[in-house]
Structure 1
Amino acid sequence: MDILVAFDYRKEDLEDMPIQQLAQYIIAEEQKPFTTEVSITFVDNETMAKLNSQYRGKSGPTDVLSFECDSVEDDLSATLLPQNPVYELGDVVIAVDVAEAQSSEFGQTFQQEIELLLVHGLLHLCGYDHIVDDEAEIMEAREDELLKRWRNEICK
């Protein structure tokens, strides 16, 4: 797996967090190929507001955006051998200041909020959504399950 992390903003607050390890864990748990590539970028509010406007038609910054890549669709068998091409999962962009504000609002640490947003963004790339209530329940349950195992079993 190739996890590309870009700290475009507040690198000093993020670089010691296990971003790559958590992304690898989620991708493995979602049974994506070992040739999977994903990028994760941390940005300021201005950059996120531009992306949110450009791609969602909404004003102001949001906490996380996910951008799927054009990759292998349903048949992953072509990506199961080492000589096969990269499976480009997509890009996750996280607004650091929004995450920090939400961590206070929701009563968790900054790192916990970053982890939640990362998992949320990656699950979007894996096909989860929350537009309708039934899908939201499934996605939130999966987020909770993965984060609980990550924090209780993997991070110890």
Structure 2
Amino acid sequence: MEIQINYDYRFDDLERMPLHELTQFVLVREQQPSMTEVSINFVKDGIIAELNERYRGKIGPTDVLSFECDGIDDGMPAVGDGEVYELGDIVIAPDVAARQTQEFGTTFEEEISLLLVHGLLHLCGYDHIEDDEAEVMETREAELLAEWAKR
């Protein structure tokens, strides 16, 4: 798997976290092809606010955005055929995550980990627009994070 993490913002707070390992853990558990490619980007509030407005029509910063490349419906490459499966890009706002730690009583690492898993699940086809979809996605997030914590 090709996992690119761009620490464009708050490098010192993020580089010590096992984000590459968590990403790989989730992608394996979600049975993504071995040639899967994903990028994770950490940005300032202003950048994610611009993206949020441009792509979702919402004003202000959000915590995480996911941008799918090769979709589930596009089909995955056959195992061993050498094709790269470009899952997509995730953009996370660490300052939003830091503010959420106060609201939810979590640590910064817990919040970043949740946002990363959330973004990856979106790229894997999960959504939370409808209540039943949200329940499935939130349950899967909790399962993955609990399993990750046990390792």
Please indicate the TM-score interval, normalised by the length of the shorter structure: over 0.9
1:74 deviation in Å? 5.5
Counterpart code for 2:53? S
The residue that corresponds to 2:92 in the other structure is 94
SS of equivalent residue, structure 2 residue 21: helix
Q: TM-score, normalised by structure 2?
A: 0.96
Decide whether the 8 Å contact of 2:72 with 2:124 is kept in 1.
Answer: no
Partner of 1:108: 106
Query: Unaligned stretches of 5+ in structure 1?
Result: none
Shift of 1:35: 0.2
> Per-residue deviation at 1:111?
0.1
1:129 aligns with: 127
Do the aligned partners of 1:41 and 1:93 also contact (CA within 8 Å) in 2?
Answer: yes
Please, what TM-score do these two structures have when normalized by structure 1? 0.93
Deviations 1:65-90 (A, max 9, x none): 000003574543x3310x52100000
**Over 4 Å off, 4+ runs:** none
* Match status 1:31 vs 2:6: no
Count of residues in correspondence between the two structures = 151
- The separation in 2 between residues aligned to 1:72 and 1:31, in whole angstroms, is 12
Displacement after TM superposition at 1:103 (Å):
1.2
Tell me the residue number matched to 1:117: 115
Matched, 1:79 2:78: yes
User: 1:88-125: per-residue Cα shift (whole Å, max 9, x none)?
Assistant: 00000000100000011100100000000000000000
Does the alignment pair 1:139 with 2:146?
A: no
CA contact (8 A) 1:66 1:91 kept: yes
Cα distance between partner residues in 2 of 1:126 and 1:36: 11
Gapped regions of structure 2 (runs ≥ 5): none
Report the residue type matching 2:136 in the other structure.
I
The answer on whether the counterparts of 1:52 and 1:59 sit within 8 Å (CA) in structure 2 is: yes
